[in-house]
Amino acid sequence: MSLLTEIYEQPQRLEELITHQYQQIKQVAEVIKQKKIQMVLLAARGTSDNAGRYANYLLGNRNHLPVALAVPSLYTNYQTPPELHNAMVIGISQSGQSPDIVSVLQNGREQNCLSIAITNQPDSPLANAADFVLDLQAGPEHAVAATKTYTAELILLALLSTALNEDKQSRQEIDQVPNWVAQVLKLNDYIADAAKRYRYMQQCVVLGRGYNYSTAFEWALKLKELTYVSAEAYSSADFMHGPIAIIAGGFPVMAVVPRGKVFPTMLETITLLKDQLKAEMVVISNAKEVLHLAEIPIAIPEQVPEWLSPIPSIVAGQLFTYHLTRIKGNDPENPRTIVKVTETH
């Protein structure tokens, strides 16, 4: 089993997850509605933290629920957890082992809050601390860098949002995600060849906005973990407030720019970076008007709606990172320093 194998598993894993988990998710959604939940506190680390960034936009925009990302140190080191009222606490963790994430759910239950664990290990400490467990069903993930568990987390959150709204059209759109991911995987050879251009890259920025704020952070994390490139993620809006000063001719910029509400402002930013600042662009998008600005355009399927675009988009980012890792002579199966399960307190 290799990292590339797990990347390629994603269409099948996502399809099985959509098929087998939606009924349970609907039951959880009914409980949430009955309890008249007013806010969500979400606890996660690493890759799962980026799933939390997705939830921030997803549940906020589609379900009108404010989402706060928990500060686990308040529970473990400072022992001053916030007071919660009419809240739901969600813990997201591939392994379900991190004590600080578990502590957030345990405290939520002590405060009589509904608690949900999203994990690939339904018998883990995180699962045991929750009222409901949503199993990622991703199968064993042997690679240190998380791929299939991340896209499974996004799909589970999308299913939960859809169940809360009882939205049939959204449910039909979710059914198309495995096929969209499979189409992106067909770009493997093209991406492998394109990544050669960045053999000597040592630093870059990764831009996204809205739903793909999460994708920018996850792609940057994978670049750090596997290629050891200093990759900094930004919202394109935040990037204009100072960090843009680092851009000079040839500076590498990775950008995730699908069609949607934030597309016009993203297009303005990418056009500025390309035409005036002469940045070196890798762009993931389903819009021709921004793809043509890139040295390396990576096209996701045109039909992908903005709210689901982080899933096929990050798969493209995973492929790019995997091949760049190998081109740089690094071992994608054994990245230096990091381990598969990190238990922070």
Other Cβ atoms less than 10 A from the Cβ of 222: the count is 28
Percent of the chain with pLDDT over 90: 90
Confidence of residue 336 (pLDDT cuts 50, 70, 90): confident
- pLDDT tops 80 at residue 220: yes
pLDDT band, very low/low/confident/very high, at 165 (cuts 50, 70, 90)? very high
| pLDDT of 340 higher than 60 | no
**Packing angle, helices 177-185 and 3-34, rounded to 10:** 160
Question: 344: pLDDT confidence band, cut at 50, 70 and 90?
Answer: low
The per-residue pLDDT for range 40-60, each reduced to its tens digit, is: 999 999 999 999 999 999 999
Task: Summarize the confidence of residues 314-332 as an average pLDDT.
Answer: 97
The whole-number pLDDT of residue 337 equals: 75
Region 289-314 average pLDDT = 98
Q: What is the pLDDT of residue 4?
A: 97
pLDDT in tens, 179-211: 999 999 999 999 999 999 999 999 999 999 999
Q: How many CB atoms within 10 Å of residue 189?
A: 10
**pLDDT tens for residues 110-147?**
999 999 999 999 999 999 999 999 999 999 898 989 99
pLDDT at residue 343 greater than cutoff 70 = no
For the cut 70, the answer to whether the pLDDT of residue 1 exceeds it is no
Cβ proximity of 8 and 139 under 8 Å: no
Helix H or strand E segment including 217: helix 213-222
If pLDDT is split at 50, 70 and 90, which confidence band does 342 have? low
Strand runs labelled E in the chain: 39-44, 67-69, 87-93, 114-119, 132-135, 203-208, 230-235, 252-256, 280-285, 296-299
Q: Average pLDDT for residues 219-225, to the nearest whole number?
A: 97
Domains, in order of start, for the chain: 3-175 (3.40.50.10490), 183-327 (3.40.50.10490)
- Statement: residue 264 has pLDDT above 80: yes
Tell me the whole-structure pTM to 2 decimals.
Answer: 0.96
The pLDDT tens digits of the residues spanning 67-115 come to 999 998 898 889 899 999 999 999 999 999 889 999 999 999 999 999 9
Strand, coil or helix: what is 65? coil
